Structure 1
């Protein structure tokens, strides 16, 4: 089944009855390698490491006495897992905990890790915290390139805008102008992105134009970030590269893909728009 046909069967863009009793069958996985195959890349030859960090602010269940418990949750899904989890199905699944009793938070974590790992085809880590321990707002480190005075004419991905030349540098470049669209509903997905690299100096005007070129592009968060990584990797040929996008929250979830040529984990920070 190709991606458009697969997504048509997902809960996206459809009226939905919200379950309030635990139901793992609500999770809807979508193959990751659809995007890789389009570029001629196999799972065994991926040029990156990374993970997708999902943050949820609407986690709740009942304790053994029927009293509601609320929490914040982090979900860490490896970028090499076989599937992404469609976001609406993820929300429906989390909502299904609302009137379900659990002995303690550890039981909730264990159940979520079991269900999500099965759906994703990889080991998913789940962390629950109290709202009292919420992460403070931070900013990406690096040089923001958004004030560059450029002419823009591309609103679909244009990797030909990317280039690098000259001396080798190590720097982090930041933009808050990344926007793509849900491939099914057309709803906008807004993000800030940090690009950290070592290599010939990347042309900043071309990079900004390239990031803006996603403005009318329909794709999932994870696939957008992977495409950005691979385009920069192929066009600019850095020695090292990391791409970290923090997407604006929708429906109580924000999605934050990280891809890097080094095997490292990102800090799960929270930006002002999240």
Structure 2
């Protein structure tokens, strides 16, 4: 297994931003884990119990191996990494790892599933759920828009493109709300390469009514911000928690795919939120 990274900026040794040779035979050492603790301390989430539950849902669209007779098998995969895991897995390393299956023989789909689950769990430091569906079984991806209120039609001025928690506010003594708000205007940049990451972000909450214009300005303020997907969602969750004091809160981002992978981090204040792995139209 590659060296674990223990600080927020220590990703220089990762495959990101570097030319690498593609390997087409099984190589679990390609996985590059990154400790979550550094970025979590930056947003005020240190050791001990986390203020949220959730998971990072990965969808893999470029997955293939050889069967026992050397015939290629193609499939799609779903990987669920617990938010409580001490490490995330750097996305390019996961792409390279999955490509290493291309010329490897496996006796069954189940053998591939078990292998990936074992390797990802070792990298993340917690049990990762893995489901693989071969294309001959006709798997489907459901494309759906969030069931809530779209913020993007608000006619407002925006001039802030780095996250400012103070853009968020909620009514202090007004009527409480229970609603789902979402925006397609989330854009952040890769922490290492600066490449743009595009996504839809959904905010579901119960509590003091959140100011919608301020929430949209806050979402857009990530436009020039450099962080990994998972870290952006945790920052959004913590900023809304502190600025708006909701009784219940869930934040989910559906990022567009890169390298045959899309990443969809989900964080919630309580267990029990209904979360289906549906696709955003750009995915």
Deviation string for 1:46-98 (max 9, x for gaps)? 21000000000001000000000000000000001010000000000000000
Per the alignment, residue 56 of structure 1 pairs with 60
Moved more, 226-235 or 132-141: 132-141
Paired positions, count = 273
**SS of 2:243 mapped into structure 1:** helix
Deviation string for 1:179-229 (max 9, x for gaps)? 000011111000001100000100000000000000000000000000000
C-alpha distance in 2, partners of 1:43/1:96?
A: 35
The alignment status of 1:253 with 2:261, answered yes or no, reads yes
C-alpha distance in 1, partners of 2:7/2:130?
A: 30
C-alpha distance in 1, partners of 2:247/2:142?
A: 33
C-alpha distance in 2, partners of 1:194/1:205?
A: 15
**SS of 1:139 mapped into structure 2:** coil
CA RMSD in angstroms, aligned pairs only? 1.0
Per the alignment, residue 73 of structure 2 pairs with 69
Task: Give the C-alpha shift of residue 125 in structure 1.
Answer: 0.5
Per the alignment, residue 215 of structure 2 pairs with 207
Per the alignment, residue 159 of structure 2 pairs with 153
C-alpha distance in 2, partners of 1:235/1:34?
A: 22
Per the alignment, residue 186 of structure 1 pairs with 194
- Out of 255, 272, 277, the residue aligned to residue 268 of structure 1 is 277
Task: Give the C-alpha shift of residue 134 in structure 1.
Answer: 1.9
TM-score of the superposition, structure 1-length normalised?
0.98
**SS of 2:56 mapped into structure 1:** strand
**SS of 1:183 mapped into structure 2:** coil
Per the alignment, residue 242 of structure 1 pairs with 250
TM-score of the superposition, structure 2-length normalised?
0.95
C-alpha distance in 2, partners of 1:97/1:229?
A: 36
Structure 2 portions without partners, runs of 5+: 1-5
Task: Give the C-alpha shift of residue 35 in structure 1.
Answer: 1.2
After superposition, residues 73-92 of structure 1 pair within 5 angstroms as: 73-92=77-96
C-alpha distance in 2, partners of 1:2/1:120?
A: 15
Moved more, 173-182 or 263-272: 263-272
Task: Give the C-alpha shift of residue 3 in structure 1.
Answer: 2.4
Structure 1 portions without partners, runs of 5+: none
